[in-house]
Structure 1
């Protein structure tokens, strides 16, 4: 009985638990707009079926995840200095009984993919901004 209560309070840790943070020197609204369209989700995570369960506007999105992984994912956008700190969380499991070696490989793949998404957005959204300088006036 005690074990059941502990499991309910502290569910098992997801086998694929990715946390990433990247600073983007652009307003939070610009980063939110990059994540807003569902077509972007398919581009960022082509093998995942994601469904928004909480749209927090300029603060970010939370999704349920299905397909290649099962769990939850979040993008939290925090205003920081003259830009945005992009926090990314993926907590999910591979479906079925999966060997530990495959889980480790998937974890590393998802970590690299998360950084590729954030650095890709950084490159696109900061285009035309010289390092250490304010954004160009449009």
Structure 2
């Protein structure tokens, strides 16, 4: 399966002269047993791991701090953040299959949802076409 997604316009708080920035945001659903949570996440080819805010762990019934913290650099204004990694299932919007992945949960306010390479880029082919304002997600079986 192959699907096109448009870049989404979001407010750009870093540049007062520019009010909007386009980002490759993708809707995914995280599953932990019978609980699930839909999250709009940034597809980030420069990130290694998946990161989500701690509020998502709470909604999934995950005791985030039951695992040891891992220090992650390069996310929130250059300051290291702590993340706690847990196994969940992830389903991409409009795709039928779920994948099992390790995701980090953090209390950092700079993180909502981040889809990094490990796990995601191994299961899906991602093609960015920023000049067209879109990106493509294709499962490995296509």
The answer, yes or no, to whether TM exceeds 0.5 is no
Normalised by the size of structure 1, how large is the TM-score?
A: 0.24
The structure that is helix-richer by fraction is: 1
Normalised by the size of structure 2, how large is the TM-score?
A: 0.24
Larger radius of gyration: 1
